[in-house]
Amino acid sequence: MTNHFGDVVGHSKAILMIGANSAVANPIGFKHFLQAKDRNNAKLIVVDPVYTKSAAKADHYLRIRTGTDVAFIYGLLHIIFKNGWEDKEFIDSRVYGMDEIREEAKKWTPEETQNVTGIPAEKIIQLATLLAKTKPTTVVWALGITQHSTGTSNTRILPILQLVLGNMGKKGGGTNIIRGHDNVQGSTDMCCLADSLSGYYGLGEASWRYYAKAWGVDFDWLQKRFHSPKWMHEKGFSLAKWWQGVLQEEKTYSSSPIRALWVQGTGITSMAQTAKVQEALDKLDLLVVAEPFVNEAAVITSKTDNIYILPVCTQFETEGSVTATNRSSQWRSKVVDPLYESKTDHDVMFEFAKKFGFYDEYVKAMKMDIVDGEPKVVKDSFIWPDDAANELARTIKTIGLGGWTAKRLREHQENWHLFDPLTLKGSGKMKGQYYGLPWPCWDTKHPGSPILYDVTTPVSKGGMGFRNRFGLEHEGVSQLPDERVTVKGSKIKGGYPEITKDNIEKVLGITLTKEEKIKIGANWKVDFSGIIQEKCNEAEVCVYGNAKARAKVWTFPDPIPKHREPIHSPRHDLVQKYPTYEDQKNNFRVDVRFKSEQTAQDWSKEFPTMLVTMRVVNLSGAGMLERTSKYLSHITPEMFANINPELAADYGIRNGDMMWLHSPQGTKIKVKAIYSHSVTPDRICLPYNFAGVMQGVDMSANYPEGTKPYTIGESSNTITNYGFDIITQIPEFNAGLCKIERA
């Protein structure tokens, strides 16, 4: 989220919501959009394949065919460029690679865009006109954009639209990606993933050596924790396809098959290919589930031994910081002590570390601080969670967590009433700070950054340019802006590179002392001494540089975003014109099918109905927690699918009848048909918040005594079609096909 909800209320004149249904998935956030409508007469535009509760409040609703978001945005850009409505000054001064976007947009006439997306040409023209003439506009999205085989391209084309319109780095503008759960942003920032270290540090040796130093452990010791040194630098299996590492049905690239699975803090049944997940669970030697409620991973398996369920505390029984969707941190206090024999997440991990003999190394960093420019042990014990928060603050520099000390975060919690909800500005004793210190918050004197890439604000007050991450030039073209893009108050006019030990004197025009040269780190991301940050603060310079945004990513399979039909497309006539990618080798240690799967047959002949997933407001994730509530379960007492009466009639299905839904993978689920005109006769829509039934088989007997939820049901992910993003490997949840059969 480049901006924040209060900023939308305070400044946005239009809100383009695409791939999101915030009225259901994030109702508190949606409240702000409604306030913007009331306060600013902001126009709410909702683009969704289903007429959602958010669409019901929209000024403009556009029904899109799933998997065609890139085509839709190019259709808007076609109109904008054709009429000269783009922000020419912004593009010329702050963007690289827009010429290729402009060329691609020429192909997407309103007629072709209508043909691909299903949105009428006149609505495309109307919306393009509205966006071009309404400033500032913010763009909002969620999982409906990311969960596609082209999810990476989707998440690139939307910021490109905002760059074209000049809405980036502006109040009321930006791209605001809405998180659906508490601390999703925090878990992302800590990189609970298989391809990077915490804080988005890569898997290269330099990053590992930095963390070894931060943790106070020997690099060689750390390296020996791996089967062999090379695995230290390789991606692990992703959450989406870990099961392939167990089943070994296709070639994998690992030292051995996965034999044990530890599940903590995630819903396994919220991932795609649930039938494959079940097969993998059955084949494991060991399954451990550490959750407050029984995770369905322990229920859908047919294993009868070596399954352990550890009762882990809820959020009310522990303390620490969480990160909100707008990058603000919030300290959360413990309400009650852990109940019965349950333990907190960190205590479980501490016991694990003790059992396997690395507890001292595991907690050592919490006993450390920076002394004379180096991390050193300064005490014999640690205080949880304060010392953990302080460890993160002094270590994670890539996104600027330097100011997130436990002391500051506690002060924000204790004085939340002194912050303005629209601007996030503090008053009284909190004056000069923004609530939650939205990152980057470079050091303990920095106020936080409520709006990213704002060059009209000094760096010391939360301003910055675009980050310099991709070198100083590409194909002879400078990646740095000229003096037109000077961050307010900066000593340097125009653009500059990220600051390193080698260039700091030249870039800032300073001379380091002999002592400073000894202490300073190789670059700002690994500089424990803080010298780079200190010198940049004095010059009002952002440590990560001031560069152009790049619309062209030359290291990606698609340097500029391209429309590619979903793996299982309902429009086989478009597959040849807009094919998916070639099959992929060794991404997250597995091969992934793209073109071979898409062209294996005309999937739409046997599976003619589009499959769309949705959330319901009373359930989250796999619904593990909420379905244990009698009252929340009463709202949605059983799994269902919304189906248009016309489509239902084709199969002799009446409202309330049971029906089978079959997938191209040969899986099926049995659900109740609920008549709804929110979906058109070419698609159905169903929630993904149920589990406990697998392909018609009730798994209730597998719940430990007293743990069965009030309601169980089929998981929609049992029939989620095969398909994964080319970069992130996130499943293609939202662009599949199915076949309907009356039960």
* Residue 367, CA atoms < 13 Å, CB-side half-sphere: 13
CB neighbour class for 621 (10 Å; exposed up to 12, middle 13-18, buried from 19):
middle
Residue 577 makes CB contacts below 8 A (sequence gap 6+) with: none
Number of other residues whose CB lies within 10 A of the CB of residue 398: 23
Q: Each residue of 237-257: pLDDT tens digit?
A: 999 999 999 999 888 898 889
pTM: 0.96
Of the candidates 323, 456, 326, 429, which has an alpha carbon nearest to the alpha carbon of residue 6? 326
Q: Cα 21 from chain centroid?
A: 16
Q: What is the pLDDT of residues 547-586, one digit of tens each?
A: 999 999 999 999 999 999 999 999 999 999 999 999 999 9
Across the range 7-12, mean pLDDT stands at 97
How far is residue 539 CA from its own chain's centroid?
34
CA-nearest of 260, 336, 334, 338 to 292 is 338
Treating both helix axes as pointing N-terminal to C-terminal, what angle do 110-117 and 121-133 enclose, rounded to 10 degrees?
110
Closest by CA position to 420, among listed 9, 700, 1: 9
| CA neighbor of 709 nearest in space, from 618, 643, 647 | 618
Q: Is the pLDDT of residue 323 over 80?
A: yes
pLDDT of the residue at 269: 75
pLDDT at 325 > cutoff 90: yes
Q: Token pair for residue 742?
A: 């009356």
Residue 601: its pLDDT value, please? Answer: 97
| DSSP β-bridge partners for residue 612 | 685
Q: What is the model's pLDDT at position 620?
A: 83
Which residue, among 119, 50, 49, 44, has the nearest Cα to 78 in the 3D structure?
119
Per the CB < 8 A criterion, the answer to whether 150 and 67 are in contact is yes
Q: Which domains does the chain have, with CATH numbers?
A: 5-177 (3.40.228.10), 603-742 (2.40.40.20)
SS (H, E, C) 662-721: ECCCCCEEEEEEEECCCCCCCEEEEECCCCEEECCEECHHHCCCCCCCCCCEECHHHCCC
Q: Minimal CA–CA distance to 97: which of 477, 464, 467, 497? A: 477
Which residue has tokens 């299996």? 237
pLDDT band at 191 (very low <50, low <70, confident <90, very high): confident
pLDDT tens digit string along 42-82? 999 999 999 999 999 999 999 999 999 999 999 999 999 99
Q: Has residue 270 got a pLDDT over 90?
A: no
